[in-house]
Structure 1
Amino acid sequence: MSTRVDLDRVYKQGSVRWYYQVKGPAPGNPIAYGGVDGVHLKIESISNPIGSINPINVPDPKTAGRYIRIGRSRDAPDYPTASLSILQDRGYFPQQYGTFQRMPVSFYGLAGETKDLSDFVGGWDGYVKILEYGEATEGEEPGSAWDSDDMLEDSMEFTLEAAYNIGQIVMGEEGAATVDADIRDAVWGITEYGTEMVYFLVDGTTLGTPQAPSVVYLKKSGLSWTATEVAITGSDTSDVPSAIALVGDKLIVAYDDGSTGGYFYAQVNSVTGVPGSFTQVAGGFVTSKAPLDIAAKIGREVYFCGEGG
C-alpha cells in the first residue's frame, strides 16, 4: 500500500513570495510586496558565479604534444545577475519603464509553508533570498496579438551587487550558568574558529560589590560550550566597559571611567583563540567623550564612537 504524503519535503515555486525595495536597503526606502502594495513581479532565475576553476599545465617532459597538470587556479567571480518577470498593473505608468530602469532595486524572496508570507519580518519559516542593488541592463517589452488576450508581461535583466540567502537562527544548547553581572557586548572569534569561540564583555561594576570588568570567552567542544573568565589587566571598578571588538588578532575593550575613557587590548592566540594579558591605552580621547562603541573595517583601520558623537 502506498503512503500518502501529508507534507511536502521540499520547497516549491508556490512557497516563495517576492518583495522589492527601490534605491536599495535603507530605513527611508519602503519595502513593497509584489502584487499587494507593489507591482506583480517574480524572479525567474538567478546566476551567482563563484569563480571558474582552471588547470595549470606544463609540457610533459616525456611526450611531445602532451601536458601534465601541476596545479589549478580560480578566476575571480563575475557579478551575479537575475532575470525578472513583471506585469503591467493598471492604474499607473508601468514601473519597469521608469523607476526600475533609473534606480537600483533590491529584491527579497521569502520562502515558507506554514506562516503568513505577507509578514516580511516574521512570516517566513524557511529562508530569505536577498538580491542587493540590482541595476537594469536589458529589457524586453511585450507586443500585442491578433487573437489572444494574455496578460502583458515584461522581462528585465539585472546585474546585482550581491546575491545570498539567510536562514532562521536556531538556538542550540541553553546556558545553564547564572549570569550575575551585565553583559555589555559580544563578538565572534576570527574566521578560523568563528563558530567555536565567542567573547563576552562583562560589567562587574554593576554588582552589589563592584568588581572590575572582565572578558568571558566560550569555547565549543563537541556539543557543549566551556566558559572561562579572563581578567582585564589594569582595570578597576571605575572603568565601565562599553564595547568589545576583534580587530585582526587583537581583542579590544573600550571603557568609560567618567573622564576621557580609553581601551584595553590583548593578543589572541591564533591557534586556540584564547586572549593573553591586556594592555591599557588611556590617551587619544576627549574629556567627557569616552568611547561607546568600536567598528573595524580592516585590521589596520579602527573607528571609535565617542559619547556625544
Structure 2
Amino acid sequence: MKYSGLYFIPAHANASEASSTIFHSLTESIERQFSTTSPQNFWTLQHRLLRSNAASNATPAPIKPEPTNPSIKPEPTSAAPTPTANPQPSTSSDKLISITPQSQGTLITIPSAQTESHFAFLTNKLSPLWQFRHALQIPHGVVYNIGQFTIHMGEMKANRPSGSGGSGNLSPGVVVCVSTEIGEGSDGDVRMGNDGYMALNGDAMEGIRGDGEDREGEEEVDVSDAEDLIRDVWRTMRTDIDFGKAEVREVMLGKEGVNETQQSEATVVRMWCEVLRLRG
C-alpha cells in the first residue's frame, strides 16, 4: 500500500524566479544524490478555491467551509472542503513545520472527467453561494523513481481572477510528494548509508550499509517507519540547499490513510487540500 508525505517550500519572494530557483536546485540535488535516477514522466495538478458570498440579510449565516476543486493527473481527481489543522513548529534547524490533516468536515470525491462540469455547477448554478477565489496549478511536474520511492515534484503557479485585487500570475513555491510502499507488496528496502547517500536493496542494487554490514531481517514497515524513510529521502534531497527564511511545511498521510480503501482515498485528498490550503 502506498504511503506519502508532502512538502511545500514557499518562495521567499512572490516571483516566478524564486520558485524556479528552488525547483531547479531540488532537481539538481535529486540527480546528484541519486545518480541512477532520471525523470520518468510528467504530471499536472489543478486546485481551484471558492469562497462563500456574504449573506444579503443582517442575520449572520453559519460559516460554510470553502470548497476546493483539486485535479491531480494522472491520479484520480477529488474535491473536498478545506480541513483545519494544528501546526506544530519543529525544533530542527531546517525550519520544518509538521502538520497533521484533521478529519472534520464533509468530503466528496468525484471522477476526473466530471471536474469541469462540477466546477461550472458551483460557479454558475450556485453562484449566489460561492465565488471563484483563485487557482493553483502545477503545469509541468516531474516524477522520479528511486528504488521503492516515487517523488512527484512541481513548481506551483497561482492565478487570481481579474478584478480581484491581487496579482495575475504568481509562483508561491514548490511542492514535493515522496511516496513509498508499506506492508505487504513492498519491494526492496532503502536506507541511509554513512556516506549520506541512499543504499538501495532489491531489484535496483544491493543495499550495503556504510559500515559494510547488511541489515538483517525483513520486518513489515509500519507508518512510523515509512515516515522516517520519507524524511530520510527529503533530507537527502535538500542537502546543501539553503531555503533562506522559508519555513518548509510537512504533511504526512497519517494512520487513517492505510486502512480501508475508501478511507485511504479520502485521507489522500485531505492531505493535498491541507498543503494547498496553506497557500490561500
TM-score, reference length from structure 2 = 0.22
Higher helix residue share = 2
Higher RCO, Cα 8 Å, sep 6+:
2
Higher strand residue share = 1
